[in-house]
Amino acid sequence: MNVFDYAIRMEQDGEKWYRSIADRSTSAGLKKIFSLLAVEEIRHCKAVEQLKRRLGNMYLEPTGILGEVKSVFRDMRKMDGEEAFDGIEGLDGFTGMRDYEVNCRNFYLEKAGQLDDMSQRIFLQLADEEDKHLRIMNHIIDFVSQEEPGKWLDRSEWPDPDDGGTPRSGK
């Protein structure tokens, strides 16, 4: 399997995994976040498919996923205890997905150096996107690991989407 086919398969698997987690989630907010991440994986898959077929000068548009997820967490805070949150029982799936994002990021970083300039640029952009997903999964794991997730939302810090992920107040 060549590097592009592997990346396509990897992104398809990620989409399926996020959709599966979204379907099982008891939290409307987390369900939305996992659905957003699934859509991101589809976008990545399409980018790699275009790259594989060499459909012109490729550019992967950066997304606002961090801002969107921050907004979902803000909305969850407004629910003020009305929403049921996935508990520690969902943690294994979340940590598995976090580890998957680490592997995806590392794959793109490793393979980028073996490709032509355009492919390298796209793979480095994909690695950056996977890093955003990793930060989101770490935040979710911190969230669901809390004894009282609703209270944690009030004091959590969330990466500012405009500064590359530096934590700022979640308020």
What is the domain-level CATH number for residue 126?
Answer: 1.20.1260.10
Helix 28-53 with 117-144: angle, nearest 10 deg? 170
Does any domain span residue 168?
no
Would the pTM count as exceeding 0.85? no
Two tokens at 2?
């060549």
- Listed in order, strand segments (DSSP E) in 96-161 are 157-159
Does any domain span residue 92?
yes
HEC-encoded secondary structure of 78-97 = HCCCCCCCCCHHHHHHHHHH
Does any domain span residue 38?
yes
Does any domain span residue 74?
yes
Does any domain span residue 167?
no
Give residue-wise pLDDT tens across range 1-46.
Answer: 799 999 999 999 999 999 998 998 888 888 999 999 999 999 999 9
Does any domain span residue 170?
no
Does any domain span residue 171?
no
The domain tally of the chain equals 1
Structural domain containing residue 61: 3-159
Give residue-wise pLDDT tens across range 73-120.
Answer: 888 877 655 555 655 456 777 888 999 999 999 999 999 999 988 899
Does any domain span residue 148?
yes
